Structure 1
Amino acid sequence: MPRVLYITTDGLRPDALEAAYTPTFRALMQEGAFTLSARSVMPSITLPCHMSLFHSLPPERHGVVSNTFTPMARPVRGLFEVLKQAGKRSGMFYSWEPLRDVARPLSLAVSKLIAYDNNPEVSDQKVVEAALPYISELDFTFLYLGSVDEVGHLEGWMSPAYLRQVEHIDALLSRIVEGLPSDTTLLLMSDHGGHLRMHGTQDPADMTVPFMAYGPGVARGRAIDEPMSLLELAPTVAAMLGVGLEPAWEGRVLKFG
């Protein structure tokens, strides 16, 4: 039975993967499919981006244009609801509480919030440790890593502290990959990038994000040439799990073979 683990690395710029020591990220690119030129959405901030990731809609359609949740005027089922209605079990492990609104009530089998505690060396580690026992039990797992974005706001994107935090995430990612069940495909993406100590603009540094796929059926070292954005995540996950798509979704199903 196929499973999917999706990881958001909040605020990760693609060029940070070259500037920092990132052997795990590089291995995923060598052994899987990837692009370093995927697109975020406007405004390129966390909650609108995640609503687009899980509902395959741009902000002007889902209506969330800040980090304050607003219900849709014309509701569209998100990925978690689609999976639930198909009998799939999903889980969500995260450190930023507003993300609770990307899933409607009763759509998750497991939900664990471990609030960010102003310690970038520990916060994401706690989230990873909470998620690891469940990955082999759930059909779909969402794991949110937020510390790179936090350090970007404090010290600046591409600063020495920011690059050190990217290296910390690389080490955590190594733990995840080492324990990844053989039937599980890993998808990894950033919601947005950043510049100076901010993001949310149309600056390419804010709007360009990495995407990687690794696992069963994913071609080794395949560079994804076609344009892609956050909107492709939900339909791609649903297709990988053999679930029909929500008709209102605007993204495409990506193929990695």
Structure 2
Amino acid sequence: MARLLYITIDGLRPDALEAAHLPTLLTLMQEGASTLCARSVFPSITLPCHMSIFHSLPPERHNVLTNTYTPIARPVPGLFEVLKHSGRRSGMFYSWEPLRDVARPLSLAVSKLIAYDHNPEVSDVRVVEAAMPYIKSGELDFTFLYLGSVDEVGHLEGWMSPAYLRQVEHVDTLLGRVLEALPLDTLLLLMSDHGGHLRMHGSEHPEDMTVPFIAWGSGIARGLQIAEQVSLLELAPTAAALLGVVPEPAWEGRVLRLG
């Protein structure tokens, strides 16, 4: 049975893949399926975006409109709950505490918060190090790995600034370590939650709303440029389908054709 690793690179703009030296990301695109024209949701803010990623609902449906969690008035099971109900083991490794609310209690086998210390050189390294034993062992069916330092540098120095591009390169190096550790039967999905412009994001500005999406692994078409429109809402149903689990009927996204 396949295993799946999903990675969010917070704040990664797709044009950074052309402006920086990113051998790991480019290899994933060449060997997998990808688009540099995927769409975020509005407001293009981290917690609303991740609620949409894991619940396949737009913000006006899940009602999380800021980085403060609000329970869904008419609850819809998220990806972690659907996988738990199907007997799959999931884990998440992250550095931004509000993300704890994307998973309901008792739906995770492993949850590790590595508190962000505002040092972009080490924060994502610590998250990767915490996740690495579980990635190598393959003991989890679904793993969520959150890398937040690119967004942090975007706010400090500006999106597409030299410091921002250097940080993307730093994260690309970390991704190389992760890729080397993946068991052969592990599929990988990678996406950004939003982009950014100047030192901000959250608007419907194209630089905020356009994100990359990459799928890689056995059974994923090599070098496929995805022609259909991809949004954050496609992540949960596509991940479930790749794991052989029926997506939640209330989810509004669709399963992407990646083979």
TM-score (structure 2 length as normaliser): 0.99
Residues 24-52 of structure 1 show CA distances to partners (whole Å, capped at 9, x for unaligned) of 11111111110000000000000000000
Query: CA separation in 1, counterparts of 2:253 and 2:118?
Result: 35
Per-residue deviation at 1:180? 1.0
Give, as a single letter, the amino acid of the residue that structure 1 aligns with 2:83. Answer: L
Helix, strand or coil at the partner of 2:36: strand
Partner residue of 1:85?
85
Residues 88-125 of structure 1 show CA distances to partners (whole Å, capped at 9, x for unaligned) of 00000000000000000000000000011111010001
Partner residue of 1:193?
195
Query: CA separation in 2, counterparts of 1:212 and 1:132?
Result: 20
Per-residue deviation at 1:223? 0.4
Partner residue of 2:126?
126
Per-residue deviation at 1:179? 1.1
Helix, strand or coil at the partner of 2:5: strand
Query: CA separation in 2, counterparts of 1:173 and 1:245?
Result: 28
Query: CA separation in 1, counterparts of 2:257 and 2:230?
Result: 12
Could you tell which deviates more after superposition, 213-222 or 188-197? 213-222
What pairs with 1:1-257 in structure 2 (closer than 5 Å)?
1-135=1-135, 136-257=138-259
Query: CA separation in 2, counterparts of 1:56 and 1:160?
Result: 34
Per-residue deviation at 1:163? 0.3
Q: Percent identity?
A: 79
Give, as a single letter, the amino acid of the residue that structure 1 aligns with 2:142. Answer: F
Give, as a single letter, the amino acid of the residue that structure 2 aligns with 1:202. Answer: E
Query: CA separation in 2, counterparts of 1:214 and 1:181?
Result: 13
Helix, strand or coil at the partner of 2:75: coil
Helix, strand or coil at the partner of 1:185: strand
Helix, strand or coil at the partner of 2:190: strand
Query: CA separation in 1, counterparts of 2:80 and 2:237?
Result: 11
Question: Structure 1: which 5+ residue stretches go unaligned?
Answer: none
Per-residue deviation at 1:247? 1.1
TM-score (structure 1 length as normaliser): 0.99
Give, as a single letter, the amino acid of the residue that structure 2 aligns with 1:37. Answer: C
Per-residue deviation at 1:256? 1.1
Give, as a single letter, the amino acid of the residue that structure 1 aligns with 2:214. Answer: M
Could you tell which deviates more after superposition, 88-97 or 127-136? 127-136
Helix, strand or coil at the partner of 1:138: coil
Question: Structure 2: which 5+ residue stretches go unaligned?
Answer: none
Query: CA separation in 1, counterparts of 2:187 and 2:247?
Result: 19
Query: CA separation in 2, counterparts of 1:206 and 1:255?
Result: 25
Helix, strand or coil at the partner of 1:84: helix
Paired positions, count:
257
Query: CA separation in 2, counterparts of 1:169 and 1:17?
Result: 12
Per-residue deviation at 1:208? 0.1
Helix, strand or coil at the partner of 1:143: strand
Give, as a single letter, the amino acid of the residue that structure 1 aligns with 2:232. Answer: L
Give, as a single letter, the amino acid of the residue that structure 2 aligns with 1:3. Answer: R
Give, as a single letter, the amino acid of the residue that structure 1 aligns with 2:226. Answer: I
Helix, strand or coil at the partner of 2:108: coil
Query: CA separation in 1, counterparts of 2:156 and 2:105?
Result: 33
